[in-house]
Structure 1
């Protein structure tokens, strides 16, 4: 039943911590490696670095919603939205 999911390499769900600057503040962010890979794809499509992509996204969410309650969760949902909107039918 879960062979597809269980067979994924552990390296994809290992967590990597990166430091980046958002609105002039350095923050550390821990995400699964697969999320970092997806964020790299998103940033590449926007022709910017991952840090730039996250910073712009963060600012746009502030403008729309006034705050980002959980940056890591927001980025995971961003990655899921990207995958769901780009799946092959």
Structure 2
């Protein structure tokens, strides 16, 4: 049986390099679980599957814009069609938008 050992800073990394554990002490593994939701994008019903953490970020984006998550997704869908002619991986685009939103927060948050 393999036992989990508590890593110390600097352990389990490249030789001579300090390592910072990316897991918060209270990290919730449920945030990793994929969640499928039926959404309407500009009048069309579809299913979008994202990890739970991204749905939470989308809810924050919607709240900041005083609209629904569906409205945010419809906006992104419409804009990507207007600007780029569409995208092959819409869920990947949504993940990147969520991360970009967190990295460069609007000044009105």
Any unmatched runs of 5+ in structure 2?
1-18
Q: Which residue of 2 aligns with 1:75?
A: 94
CA apart distance, 1:33: 0.7
Greater relative contact order (Cα 8 A, min sep 6): structure 1 or 2? 1
Corresponding pairs, count: 86
How far apart, CA to CA, are the structure 1 residues paired with 2:61 and 2:69?
A: 8
User: 1:76 and 1:5 mapped to 2: Cα distance?
Assistant: 19
Bigger radius of gyration among the two? 2
Structure 1: unaligned runs, 5 residues or longer: none
Pairwise CA RMSD? 1.5
Between Structure 1 and Structure 2, which shows a larger proportion of helix residues? 1
TM-score, normalised relative to structure 2: 0.72
Aligned position for 2:83? 64
Please report the TM-score for the alignment, with normalisation by the length of structure 1: 0.87
One of 28, 41, 46 as aligned partner of 1:22: 41
Aligned to 2:22: 4
